[in-house]
Amino acid sequence: MTSTPLPETPLSLITPESGESFFFRSSARGPDGRFAFQWRLAAGKAGPGPHVHPFESETFAVVSGRLQIFMEGRCHELGPGDVLVVPAGVTHHFGHPGTEECVVEVSMDGTRMEDQFVPLAQHFRSPSGLPLKAVPLTLVHLDHAMREGSTHADSAILRGLIRAMAAFFRLFGVRPLPPVSGWDRAVAV
């Protein structure tokens, strides 16, 4: 068993509960216009549930492990070297049938998801993942992202629950984080 080394990156976001790690590589505000990151999914985890990015396409290139991407009623089985593009506006979710970590290079053609992920990574720099105190800010930030059109859960019930909890936390002064510019300048690609 060989493991894929961790990438050199100034920012990462680790979520042990979901088994996901995000290592951010380049900003869509840069010359190639794509937000790029490495996504690692632990064995036995499935990643986010059904969701959609209304304005951004998402490209997945599997480096190691196995990944299933479900979209438009079809399961796409991907392994090392396989690439799949999920067009903007298409609901998708994931499965991970493997027994080892899955490593995927992901890129998106816009700044909306970057403006959701990177501020959280900057605010909660921690090798052990997001602390419990991150929940209110994360919910408010996610609600803001949904309102801005970067992403939203496919379930109307889940969207309503996120909005209701975010409204509650806003009563106590919790606000979404602003976009972060220049975060990718230190990345050696």
Lowest-pLDDT choice from 72-86, 98-112, 150-164, 170-184: 150-164
- The pTM of this model reads 0.84
pLDDT tens-digit map of 4-49: 555 566 688 888 888 899 999 999 999 989 999 999 999 989 888 8
CA distances from 68 to 5, 31, 186 (A): 22, 31, 32
Q: How far apart are CA 116 and CA 54, in angstroms?
A: 14
The CA distance from 180 to 57, in Å, is 21
pLDDT tens-digit map of 111-168? 999 998 888 888 877 555 556 667 788 888 788 888 887 777 777 888 888 889 889 9
**What is the predicted pLDDT for the residue at 79?**
96
The reported pLDDT for the residue numbered 130 is 56
Where residue 189 falls among pLDDT bands split at 50, 70, 90?
very low
Q: Alpha-carbon distance 6 to 148, whole Å? A: 31
At residue 158, the pLDDT reads 82
CA–CA separation, 90 vs 76, rounded Å?
14
Q: Where is pLDDT greater, at 78 or 4?
A: 78
**Rounded Cα gap, residues 79 and 143, in angstroms:** 33
Parse the chain into domains and list their residue ranges: 11-108, 114-179+181-185
On whether the 11-108 domain is CATH 2.60.20.30, my answer is no
Residue-level pLDDT at 1: 42
| Res 97: pLDDT | 86
Q: 100 vs 185, which has greater pLDDT? A: 100
For residue 116, give the nearest of 157, 93, 149, 71 by alpha carbon: 149
Q: How far apart are CA 165 and CA 140, in angstroms?
A: 8
